[in-house]
C-alpha cells in the first residue's frame, strides 16, 4: 500500500486532511445551517470536492503539495468565517449516530474489497494518478505528453495527493478514493431519503437499493431455449461480452471474462451494460459524481439563506462535477436554466434566488471551461478550429446523429427501440428502476412548479441524458453508456421518496408484495456480485498489470529517474504507473505508434536511444521474445547500464536499463 513509510509525511497528510474536513463540516453547519449528520456528512462531501477543485486549480501555478495546503487552508478559513458569522448557534452534530457508524463500517469494508479488485480500465486511471502526482496538472495524455488529454480526472487529484505527499502507491490511493466516495454516497443517500420520506425504514431501504440496485439480466435465464435463440440472433456482443462467448445464449451461463477480478469469477448474467450496483461504481471517478449530486440535493434548498461562503462552496462543488462527470454537469446547468425559464413563462416573473443561482452557475461554468478536463479541451479544440489551426487530442471523438434511436450498452452495443428482441434485453439492462419513472416524472413536475433549482435541474438532466443518448452517437460509443446510467440513478434518487410514500399508503397485501418483490429482484444481482467481491478481501492485488516485483522497482526508482524520463516498456502504462513520467508510445488510448511497435519488436539499445528513450523496463515475457543478439547487447554493451532488477527468470523478473549513453 505504501511506496515509502514516513511517519512525518503521514502525520502531515493527516493534518492536511483535518483542515479541509473541519472546514467542510463548519461550512455544512454554519454556512447552510444544517444539523447533525447532515452537517457532518454533507460538509465532508462538500469539503472533499471543493478541496479537489481548489487543489486542481492551484496546481496550474503551484507544485501539487503547495496547492493542496493552500486549498485546505482556504476551506478552513471559509468554514471559520461561516462559524464567526453564525457563532451564536451550537455545533449540534450528535444526531443519527447510526449513520456515522454505517459510513465508518462501509469504509472499513469497501477499502479491502477495492484492494482485492482491479476492474474497469485501471491501465488508464492508475497512470493518470501517477502523472498528476508528478505535477502534471492539467494532465496531458500519459502515453504521449505532447497531446492534451480530454478526460475527467476529478478523483485522481485527491489520489495523486496521497501518492505525492503520503507515499502511497497510485493503485492503493485510487482504491482508497473509490471506497471513500462509495461509502459517503450511500450515507448521503440515507440522509436524502430520510429528509424526503420522513421514515427511517424508507431511508434504510432506499440507501440499500442505491448500494445493490442494478439491472436484471439474469431474468433472461428463465426464458425458453427457443426465445434465447431468437434473442441471440438479434444481439451483437462487444467488449468483454465478446471475450466471454460467441452468443448471448452462451455467455448467460458463463463467468464474466474480465481482468482484475478475484479467484471466484463474476457471472455474466448478473451484471449490466450500464446500470451496475453502486459498490461496483469503480470506473472513471467512481461514485464521486453521485456523492456530489446527493450533497447538492441536501444543501441546495438552503442556498437562499446561506452565508456567502455557502455560495462559494456550491460553485466549487458544481465545478467539481465538471471534472468527474462533465455530461451531468452540462445537463444539470441546462436543466436549471430550463427550470428558471419554465417558471418565468408560467408566472411572468423570475423565480426566487435567480440572482444567487445565476452567479453560482455562471462562475462554475467559467471555472469548468478553464480548470482542465474534457470540457476545457473541447473548448480549446473549438477555438483553435475557429481560428483555422489544427489540433490533435487524445481521447477526443466526434458526435453524429444516431438513427434509429437506440440506447448504448457496454456489452451489446446500441440496442434499438425498433427491435423487439433488443427492447426486451434493454428492459433487463435497466431493471425495476424503470418502475420509478412515474414517480421521477411527478417529482420533475413538482420541482418545476415550485422552482427548486437543484431538484428541477437534476430531474430535467435525467431526461436530457436519456434523450441525448437515444439520438446522438459518440465516436467511442461505449462512453455514452454513462448517460443511460445517469438517467437510471437520478430516477432512483428522485423517484424513491414518492414511491416509498405511495408504498406506505398501500393496503392491498398483493400490491405490497408486488412492490417488495420488485425491490428484491432489483437488488438480487447486486447482492450476489457483492458477495463474490467479498471473496477478494483476503487476497489483495495491486492491479492486473503490476506485480510485486514491479512495486519493488517503483519503490527503488520513483524519485531516482530524471525529470520527464522516457521509459520504453512493452506495457507503456505500467512504466508511467511505476515511475510517474508520461511516455511517448500511443496516439490515443488504444492506438500505438508504429515506431513504438517497431522498437518493442526489436529494442536495440542504440535504436531505442536514438528514438528519444532514456531507459528500458524489461520483464521476463518481453525478454523471451527479444532477439538473442539484442539480449547480448543489453548484457555486454558498454553504453548500456543496468540500474537494478528484481526476481530471476522464469519468475516475475524485472530489469531497468539506462541507454542514454547509446545515443
pLDDT of residue 88: 67
Vertex 645 angle, CA 643 and 650, to 5°: 145
Residues 128 and 242 in one domain: no
Residues 530 and 583 in one domain: no
The verdict on residue 47 lying in a domain is: yes
Residues 524 and 594 in one domain: no
Residues 248 and 116 in one domain: no
Spatial separation of the C-alpha atoms in residues 29 and 506, rounded to whole Å: 37
Residues 105 and 235 in one domain: no
Give DSSP secondary structure letters for 451-465: T-HHHHHHHHHHHHH
- Give the pairing of strands 406-409 and 615-619: unpaired
pTM exceeding 0.75:
yes
> Would you give the DSSP letter of residue 167?
-
Residues 415 and 490 in one domain: yes
Asked, as a colleague might, if the bond just before 138 is cis with ω within 30 of 0, I would say yes
Residues 448 and 352 in one domain: yes
Over the chain (663 residues), the average pLDDT of each successive run of 10 is: 86 96 95 91 96 96 96 97 84 79 95 90 94 95 92 93 96 95 97 95 96 96 94 94 93 91 90 92 84 95 89 96 94 94 84 88 94 89 78 78 94 95 96 95 88 91 96 88 95 96 90 94 96 91 92 92 95 96 92 95 94 94 91 90 73 88 88
The verdict on residue 399 lying in a domain is: yes
State whether residue 264 is helix, strand or coil: coil
* Domain extent for 340: 7-216+276-534
Q: Which residues pair with 45 in a beta bridge?
A: none
Spatial separation of the C-alpha atoms in residues 647 and 4, rounded to whole Å: 20
Residues 252 and 301 in one domain: no
* Residue after which a domain boundary falls, among 465, 499, 534: 534
HSE (side-chain half, CA atoms, 13 Å) at 284: 21
Total number of domains constituting the chain = 3
Residues 426 and 474 in one domain: yes
pLDDT of residue 121: 86
* Residue after which a domain boundary falls, among 473, 508, 534: 534
* Residue after which a domain boundary falls, among 534, 567, 589: 534
pLDDT of residue 387: 78
- Strand (E) or helix (H) holding 65: helix 64-85
* Residues 6+ positions from 523 with CB-CB distance below 8 Å: 208, 209, 212, 213, 214
The verdict on residue 333 lying in a domain is: yes
Residues 573 and 480 in one domain: no
pLDDT of residue 646: 66
Residues 156 and 237 in one domain: no
Residues 118 and 197 in one domain: yes
The verdict on residue 221 lying in a domain is: no
The verdict on residue 541 lying in a domain is: no
How is residue 119 written as a grid cell? Answer: 476492474
Residue count (the chain): 663
pLDDT of residue 609: 95
Amino acid at each position: 500500500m505504501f511506496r515509502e513509510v514516513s511517519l512525518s509525511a503521514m502525520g502531515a497528510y493527516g493534518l492536511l486532511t483535518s483542515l479541509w474536513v473541519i472546514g467542510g463540516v463548519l461550512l455544512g453547519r454554519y454556512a447552510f445551517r444544517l444539523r447533525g449528520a447532515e452537517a457532518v456528512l454533507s460538509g465532508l462531501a462538500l469539503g472533499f470536492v471543493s478541496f479537489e477543485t481548489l487543489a486542481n486549480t492551484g496546481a496550474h501555478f503551484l507544485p501539487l503539495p503547495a496547492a493542496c495546503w493552500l486549498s485546505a487552508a482556504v476551506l478552513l478559513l471559509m468554514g471559520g468565517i461561516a462559524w464567526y458569522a453564525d457563532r451564536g448557534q451550537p455545533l449540534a452534530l450528535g444526531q443519527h449516530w447510526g449513520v456515522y457508524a454505517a459510513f465508518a463500517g462501509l469504509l472499513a469494508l469497501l477499502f479491502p474489497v477495492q484492494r482485492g479488485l482491479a476492474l474497469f480500465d485501471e491501465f488508464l486511471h492508475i497512470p493518470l494518478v501517477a502523472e498528476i502526482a508528478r505535477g502534471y496538472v492539467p494532465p496531458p495524455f500519459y502515453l504521449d505528453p505532447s497531446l492534451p488529454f480530454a478526460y475527467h480526472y476529478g478523483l485522481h487529484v485527491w489520489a495523486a495527493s496521497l501518492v505525492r505527499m503520503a507515499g502511497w502507491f497510485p493503485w492503493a490511493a485510487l482504491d482508497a478514493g473509490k471506497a471513500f466516495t462509495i461509502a459517503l454516497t450511500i450515507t448521503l443517500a440515507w440522509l436524502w431519503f430520510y429528509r424526503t420520506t420522513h421514515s427511517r425504514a424508507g431511508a434504510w431501504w432506499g440507501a440499500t437499493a442505491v448500494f445493490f440496485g442494478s439491472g436484471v439480466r439474469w431474468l433472461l435465464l428463465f426464458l425458453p431455449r427457443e426465445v434465447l435463440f431468437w434473442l441471440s440472433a438479434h444481439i451483437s456482443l462487444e467488449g468483454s461480452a465478446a471475450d466471454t462467448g460467441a452468443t448471448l445464449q452462451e455467455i448467460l451461463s458463463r463467468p464474466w471474462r474480465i481482468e482484475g477480478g478475484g479467484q471466484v469469477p463474476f457471472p455474466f448474467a448478473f451484471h449490466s451494460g450500464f446500470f451496475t450496483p453502486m459498490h461496483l461504481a469503480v470506473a472513471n471517478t467512481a461514485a464521486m459524481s453521485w456523492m456530489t449530486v446527493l450533497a447538492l440535493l441536501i444543501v441546495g434548498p438552503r442556498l437562499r439563506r446561506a452565508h456567502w461562503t455557502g455560495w462559494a462552496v456550491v460553485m466549487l462543488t458544481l465545478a467539481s462535477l465538471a471534472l468527474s462527470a462533465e455530461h451531468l454537469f452540462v445537463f444539470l446547468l441546462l436543466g436549471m436554466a430550463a427550470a428558471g425559464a419554465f417558471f418565468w413563462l408560467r408566472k411572468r416573473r423570475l423565480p426566487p434566488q435567480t440572482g444567487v443561482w445565476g452567479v453560482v452557475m455562471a462562475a462554475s461554468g467559467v471555472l469548468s471551461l478553464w480548470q482542465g478536463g474534457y470540457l476545457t479541451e473541447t473548448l480549446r479544440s473549438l477555438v483553435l478550429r475557429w481560428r483555422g489551426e489544427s489540433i490533435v487530442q487524445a481521447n477526443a471523438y466526434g458526435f453524429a446523429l444516431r438513427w434509429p434511436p437506440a440506447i448504448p450498452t457496454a456489452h451489446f452495443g446500441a440496442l434499438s427501440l425498433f427491435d423487439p428482441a433488443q427492447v426486451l434485453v434493454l428492459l433487463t439492462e435497466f431493471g425495476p428502476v424503470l418502475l420509478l419513472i412515474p414517480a421521477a416524472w411527478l417529482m420533475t413536475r413538482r420541482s418545476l412548479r415550485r422552482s427548486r433549482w437543484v431538484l428541477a435541474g437534476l430531474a430535467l438532466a435525467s431526461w436530457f441524458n436519456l434523450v441525448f443518448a437515444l439520438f446522438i452517437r459518440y465516436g467511442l460509443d461505449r462512453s455514452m453508456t454513462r448517460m443511460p446510467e445517469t438517467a437510471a440513478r437520478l430516477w432512483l434518487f428522485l423517484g424513491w421518496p414518492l414511491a416509498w410514500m405511495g408504498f406506505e399508503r398501500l393496503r392491498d397485501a398483493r400490491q405490497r408484495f408486488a412492490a417488495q418483490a420488485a425491490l428484491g429482484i432489483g437488488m438480487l444481482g447486486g447482492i450476489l456480485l457483492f458477495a463474490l467481491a467479498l471473496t477478494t478481501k483476503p487476497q489483495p492485488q495491486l492491479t492486473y498489470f503490476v506485480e510485486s516485483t514491479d512495486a519493488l522497482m517503483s519503490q527503488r526508482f520513483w524519485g531516482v529517474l530524471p525529470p520527464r524520463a522516457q521509459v520504453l516498456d512493452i506495457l507503456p502504462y505500467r512504466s508511467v504507473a511505476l515511475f510517474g513520467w508520461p511516455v511517448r508510445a500511443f496516439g490515443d488510448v488504444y492506438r500505438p505508434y508504429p515506431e513504438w511497435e517497431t522498437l518493442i519488436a526489436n529494442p536495440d539499445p542504440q535504436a531505442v536511444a536514438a528514438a528519444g528513450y532514456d531507459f528500458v523496463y524489461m520483464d521476463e515475457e518481453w525478454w523471451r521474445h527479444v532477439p538473442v543478439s539484442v539480449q547480448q547487447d543489453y548484457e555486454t554493451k558498454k553504453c548500456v547500464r543496468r540500474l537494478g532488477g528484481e526476481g530471476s527468470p522464469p519468475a516475475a523478473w524485472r530489469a531497468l536499463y539506462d541507454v542514454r549513453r547509446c545515443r
